[in-house]
């Protein structure tokens, strides 16, 4: 918010030191682009009306016949600035985030310039004698345009206020200075003040709604993350793993690519709980999770707690030699863990079963897990603290 002039709002609603990092990130990045894009979208329809209303003003009561030069300048100025704004919007859309600050400044300046064209035009018309009809039409039109513009630019309070002043203050100053229709000048001044109040109130409501929308989205993402995460270890949970495996099974099956699953189980884990307590067991599970995360570091690798003291890893595009090597590193790393729990050294080993295959659409995705489980059972039978590989007739040569 601070980048687009809403620091006062932020200070009122939330102390900077106590803001969650997500909200501060929202202010620094998301809102700046979103609000400017929103302002452009809101103002796009108004560009058409600026030109249409300008023609109404100069054509009514044949004003263009009496002031041809001024009418032409007014029409060309309106058409020029509106065309410039449309072209600028098209260019910035293609440029993306390049020159973002410059494009924002150009947009804001073009909006104020549009308001000034109308404000100065009304002031000049008020100085023209015997033009009561055009003065009345222009006053009504500019009041409507000002109200619409202020509402459109409410997301950026300062722009709404400056737009209002640029459109109404020139005529108010001219009328007061020259003593022209003081009641009307007073009404235009009060109308301008009322628009300022509308801008402040509407801006506050807009930012409240925008912040609530963002925080709701953050909460939704957090709930989704928690539903996929094992609370104790911070790894993915079994539900997430099963969904990821199902997706990868279908993708790799279409592409005929090999995938690997490694199932790991801490050896004699019950002894840790019985000897040192469940809290010690929980701490060792956390250490195991950290070790696994340090071994399986690829972005595509999925490490999950499968249940109890069991962990599981999905390696997309991973053949058997790579999976076996990584499983061996995990077994070695976890075997070297020394947990100091309340002055007591806690150690344990882990066994791993590896299954690598190209998915077959005639089989279910959990069949690869079943194979890894059989390999894990074999590793346990052979003495634990080692890696075993599932052998099957469906395995590819060299896998």
Active site residues: 309
- β-pair partners for 253: none
Rounded CA-CA distance 336/327 in Å is 14
**Distance separating alpha carbons of residues 183 and 186, to the nearest angstrom:** 5
The helix or strand, by DSSP H or E, that contains position 50, with its residue range, turns out to be helix 31-59
Q: Output 33-39 pairs: Cβ under 8 A, ≥24 positions apart.
A: 33/97, 33/100, 34/210, 35/4, 35/155, 35/156, 35/210, 36/4, 36/104, 36/107, 36/156, 38/155, 39/107, 39/152, 39/153, 39/155, 39/156, 39/159
Residue 7: both structure tokens together:
């620091």
Cβ neighbours for 184, distance < 8 A, ≥ 6 positions apart: 139, 175
Q: Give the Cα separation of 343 and 348 in Å (integer).
A: 16
Dist. CA 160–CA 43, nearest whole Å? 12
Tell me the pairing of strands 387-389 and 302-307.
Answer: unpaired
Q: How far apart are CA 333 and CA 292, in angstroms?
A: 8
3-state SS class at 313: strand
244 near 261, Cβ under 8 Å?
no
Residue 362 CB-density burial (10 A; 0-12 exposed, 13-18 middle, 19+ buried): exposed
Cβ atoms of 258 and 358 within 8 Å: the answer is: yes
Write the CB contacts of 242 (distance below 8 Å, at least 6 apart in sequence): 365, 366
Buried b (16+ CB within 10 A) or exposed e, 320-341: beebbebbebbbebbeebebee
**CA pseudo-torsion sign 326, 332, 334, 338:** negative
């Amino acid at each position: 918010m601070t980048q687009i002039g809403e620091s006062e709002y932020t200070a009122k609603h939330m102390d900077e030191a106590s803001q969650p990092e997500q909200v501060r990130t929202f202010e620094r990045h998301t809102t700046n682009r979103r609000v400017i894009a929103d302002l452009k979208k809101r103002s796009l329809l108004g560009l058409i009306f600026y030109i249409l209303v300008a023609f109404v003003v100069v054509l009514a009561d044949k004003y263009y016949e009496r002031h041809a030069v001024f009418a032409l300048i007014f029409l060309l100025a309106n058409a020029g600035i509106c065309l410039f704004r449309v072209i600028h919007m098209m260019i910035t859309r293609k440029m993306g985030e390049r020159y973002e600050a410059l494009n924002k400044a150009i947009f804001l300046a073009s909006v104020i310039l549009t308001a000034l064209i109308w404000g100065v035009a009304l002031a000049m018309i008020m100085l023209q004698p015997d033009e009561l009809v055009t003065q009345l039409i222009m006053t009504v039109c500019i009041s409507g345009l000002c109200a619409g513009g202020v509402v459109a630019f409410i997301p950026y309070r300062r722009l709404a206020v400056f737009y209002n002043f640029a459109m109404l203050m020139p005529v108010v100053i001219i009328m007061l200075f020259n003593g022209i229709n003081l009641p009307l000048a007073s009404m235009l001044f009060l109308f301008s003040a009322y628009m300022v109040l509308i801008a402040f109130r509407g801006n506050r409501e807009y930012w409240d709604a925008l912040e609530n929308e963002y925080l709701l989205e953050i909460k939704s993402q957090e709930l989704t993350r928690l539903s996929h995460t094992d609370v104790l270890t911070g790894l993915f949970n079994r539900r997430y793993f099963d969904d990821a495996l199902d997706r990868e099974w279908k993708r790799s099956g279409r592409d005929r690519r090999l995938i690997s699953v490694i199932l790991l189980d801490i050896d004699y884990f019950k002894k840790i709980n019985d000897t040192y307590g469940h809290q010690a067991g929980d701490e060792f599970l956390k250490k195991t999770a950290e070790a696994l995360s340090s071994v399986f570091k690829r972005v595509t690798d999925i490490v999950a707690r499968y249940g109890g003291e069991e962990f599981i890893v999905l390696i997309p595009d991973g053949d058997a030699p790579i999976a076996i090597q990584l499983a061996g590193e995990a077994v070695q790393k976890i075997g070297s863990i020394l947990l100091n729990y309340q002055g007591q050294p806690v150690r344990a080993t882990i066994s791993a079963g590896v299954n690598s295959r190209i998915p077959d659409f005639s089989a279910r995705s959990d069949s690869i897990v079943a194979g890894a489980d059989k390999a894990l059972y074999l590793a346990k039978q052979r003495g634990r603290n080692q890696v075993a590989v599932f052998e099957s007739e469906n395995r590819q040569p060299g896998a």
